[in-house]
Structure 1
Amino acid sequence: MQVKTRHTPSFGVARVILAPGEAVQAADDAMIASSFGFTEVPAARGGARGHGRSGPSVFTAPAKGGWIDLAPAGPGDVYPLEFTGRSGWCVAKHAVLARPSSVRVDAGWTGLQTLFGSDAGFLEHYSGTGPLVLACAGPVDQLNLEPGELITVRPAFLLAYPDTQQVRLRAVDPSGPQSIRTGEGLALDFAGPGMILVQARKSRN
């Protein structure tokens, strides 16, 4: 699977190029167009992860391979996050536009259980190889942390960080409203060395 982007960073489109018989998972309403011969297997009923969203479909290339164009529901950037297999990534739930079969979702990953407890938080853990395509509310910034450097990121702007990164979740105001599911009222403290991906506009979710 290869990804080429265009119309970035304001109205990003990801062209996903697939080998013969290769598949990619994406929301059915994210598809703009494709080369002829793709097959689509829709999500099971009730599989959508949020209100007003289509569930993920699996698009499979024909015998000659082909391409499919995917775009987020609103304006913003698209960003192929390359997985090398050496480590996983913690990724904002709202951010995944398309996923190859070679990148898997690790439900119940212990690092997120440490962060969120038994609740389902605003992050998911992914591992494997290949490009995971992210949908971003604004242009993507890469924040590089020096050893010992500390930064704070609000969840609505967070896209992803390597699972080797030191991180702490805390309440902005312990007496105020907080939500593990959306990140409302919470902040993430990161310690360097490391690298964090953020979006330059607040998530619409």
Structure 2
Amino acid sequence: MQVHTRHTPAFGVARIVLSQGEAVQADAETLLANSFGVTETRPGRKGPSIFTAPAGGGWLDLAPGHAGDIYPLEFSGRSGWSVALDKVLARPATVKRDQPWPALQALFGGDTGFLEHFSGTGQLVLACKGPVDALTLEAGEVITVRPAYLVAYPDAIQVRLRAVDPAAQQSVRTGEGLALDFAGPGTVLVQARK
């Protein structure tokens, strides 16, 4: 699978190029156009569709329902990434959603939280609101990010979830009233709009 982006960072579109028989999972509502012969199957009543390339391969163009950047996140198979909910535009079969993920269970307790974990190899295509910034942290450097702006972070980085104001309302499902502290080394991906 190859990913080519255009119209970024304002109105990103992802062209997913697939080899013969290769498939990608995406929401059918995001499909802008595709080469002839790409088939769509929907495993359940709800949820994403599976788009499969015919003999000779094919492509599909995906456009999210909001303005912003398209960011192909590369997975090497060595470690995974925690990704904010509703950021995944397309996912190949070689990148899997890990549910449950012990580190997120520890972060959120018994609740599902506003993050999901992915691992594997290939490119996970993310749709973000606004341009994506990669904040690279040196060893021992600590930053704080509000959940509404968080896109993703790798397993190797240290993270702590805390209340901004312990007396105010908080929600681990939406991130309301919470902040994430990250300690380097590592990279945190954020979006410039919420």
For normalisation by structure 2, the TM-score amounts to 0.98
Letter in 1 for 2:158: Q
Aligned to 1:138: 130
Aligned to 1:3: 3
Which consecutive unaligned segments of at least 5 residues does structure 1 have? 48-54
Aligned to 1:16: 16
Aligned to 1:107: 99
C-alpha deviation, 1:64, in angstroms: 1.2
CA distance in 2, matches of 1:169, 1:9: 29
C-alpha deviation, 1:43, in angstroms: 4.7
Aligned length: 194
CA displacement, residues 73-109 of structure 1 (integer Å, 9 cap, x when unaligned): 0111100000000110000112110000000000011
Aligned to 1:77: 69
CA distance in 1, matches of 2:43, 2:179: 33
Which consecutive unaligned segments of at least 5 residues does structure 2 have? none
CA displacement, residues 157-198 of structure 1 (integer Å, 9 cap, x when unaligned): 000000111000001111111111111111000011111000
Give SS of 1:74's match: coil
1:54-133 matches, within 5 Å, as: 55-133=47-125
Give SS of 1:94's match: coil
CA displacement, residues 105-163 of structure 1 (integer Å, 9 cap, x when unaligned): 00011110110111101100100000000000010101011111110000110000001
Aligned to 1:39: 39
C-alpha deviation, 1:56, in angstroms: 0.7
Give SS of 1:32's match: strand
The runs of at least 4 consecutive aligned structure 1 residues that moved more than 6 Å come to: none
Give SS of 1:72's match: coil
CA distance in 1, matches of 2:10, 2:139: 33
% of aligned pairs identical? 70
Give SS of 2:117's match: strand
CA distance in 2, matches of 1:96, 1:174: 31
Aligned to 1:176: 168
Q: Give the alignment's Cα RMSD to 1 decimal.
A: 0.8
